[in-house]
Structure 1
Amino acid sequence: MIEIKKVGDIMSRPIGVNSEDTKQFIVDIATKCFEQKGYSATSMADIKNETNMSKGTIYYHFKNKEELYLYCIQQVSNEFLHNWTMMSKAEHSAEKKLYIWANLNNLVVQKPIMNTLHEYFVATNKNNYDAVIKLYEPEFQIVKDILVEGIESGEFKNDLQVDDIAVLLFNFMTSLDHLDLFDYGTPQKQKKIYRLAIDLILPGLKK
């Protein structure tokens, strides 16, 4: 059984089938299930047992496991966007915003549930990535906005192909998700690599 520690080591279940607290409680437990067992091995019955909730309560909020899983992934994206808004709003340098964006990507990769995405695609026989692309659209737009801001402020070259470079930057950064295979498993080492990635990219962007 998954251990959920609350105040006083007591796991409390929110009251009210349709409450937002109940929905979030289900998501928190489901996230831990997916992280520990993976997408395929986790069932709605597992989540029901771990939450001590009725089947009807869980299905009131989520029609199936896939919808629940994607909602868990969406929460990671929402956290990224919230942190980006908070950390970038007082920053006026496009260059520094790239470093903020890279660091936040590093933090996302460290979320265990993100390691289950590939398995999800295989398990569901997804021939396209529409669902996850939709999740990443706001993050991709951030990259484009940084590039445009850098061009307009004079930090970056005027002739940059924003769409092409945004695709390159986004895919380059999101590909750094297996650093632990190369003995870069600690947060400190990973943060260093993400910063180095921007160090290497910037000369091609700056005037």
Structure 2
Amino acid sequence: MTNRSYICRVKMKAIMAKGEETRQFIIEKAAPIFNTKGIAATSMSDIMEATKLSKGSMYVHFENKEVLACAAVDHNMKILTDKLMVEVYKSKTAKEELFTYIDFFSNGVNPPLTGGCPLLNFGTEADDTNPVVKEKINKGCSANQQLLASIVNKGIANGEFKPDWNAEEFSVVMFAMMEGGHLISRVSGSNEKMQIIVKTLKKTIEENSL
């Protein structure tokens, strides 16, 4: 390899790395905006204002708003999952893990992510309008239910929970109640109803503990 070829390759790698860095920067700035305003109500002008990038720079990295929105949905769900698992991994027992999950999502007024739960936000908006985002959210909902079921099954195997407790059924109920409670909290501006849900779920867990 000639010296000139080597220099060209190094420069090309630097350009590609810079491009990926800019792309990630745009996603990080766009994610909370999409999660707060919704996909339909968010414009590329909103993203340009947040990033201070020109329209030309935006379209170099994203073909259109829909492509950027999908990336923002993925980013929001990853951040939410990462934050959740950091807390869950601190727990020493399966019961503590379930309680941690509940506590993590128990404040809809001041949620873990700006704008609220992306599963609820994007799922509600995309169910009849955006099949790509709808499928992403569907997978996210399934992943959360699978997580909860795996925790219960682990607790059963460890002798923490009753052996006849149906992990799959409880995971569906718990996930649905938390998401529903989040919706109520967001529209009412109060966590009062969510606290009833928290109390009910923790009571169910206690009743199935050994």
Asked if residue 139 in structure 1 is aligned to residue 144 in structure 2, the reply is: yes
Query: Structure 2: where are the runs of 5+ without partners?
Result: 1-13
Q: State the Cα distance separating 1:194 from its structure 2 match.
A: 5.7
In the alignment, what sits opposite 2:79? 79
Distance 1:137 1:45, change over 3 A: same
> Percent of aligned positions with the same letter in both sequences?
24
Contact 1:87 1:100 in 2 (8 A): yes
Distance 1:74 1:157, change over 3 A: same
Query: Structure 1: where are the runs of 5+ without partners?
Result: 1-14
In the alignment, what sits opposite 1:9? none
- Paired residues, what number? 189
Residue among 135, 142, 146 paired with 1:130: 135
Alignment of 1:42-57 (within 5 A): 42-57=42-57
CA distance in 1, matches of 2:154, 2:83: 19
What TM-score results when the alignment is normalised by the length of structure 2?
0.70
Letter in 2 for 1:24: Q
Which structure is larger by alpha-carbon Rg, 1 or 2?
2
- Once the two structures are superposed, residues 93-125 of structure 1 have per-residue CA deviations (whole angstroms, 9 ceiling, x without a partner) of 111111111122336882315364223435x25
Alignment of 1:35-184 (within 5 A): 35=35, 37-106=37-106, 110=111, 111=113, 112=115, 114=118, 116-117=121-122, 118-122=124-128, 124=129, 126=131, 129-177=134-182, 178-182=184-188, 184=190
In the alignment, what sits opposite 2:202? 199
CA distance in 2, matches of 1:146, 1:89: 11
Q: State the Cα distance separating 1:156 from its structure 2 match.
A: 1.1
Q: State the Cα distance separating 1:22 from its structure 2 match.
A: 1.4
Letter in 2 for 1:146: I
Contact 1:39 1:116 in 2 (8 A): no
Contact 1:33 1:42 in 2 (8 A): yes
Contact 2:108 2:186 in 1 (8 A): no
What TM-score results when the alignment is normalised by the length of structure 1?
0.71
How big is the alpha-carbon RMSD for the aligned residues of Structure 1 and Structure 2? 3.3
Letter in 1 for 2:208: L
CA distance in 1, matches of 2:23, 2:107: 25
Letter in 1 for 2:152: L
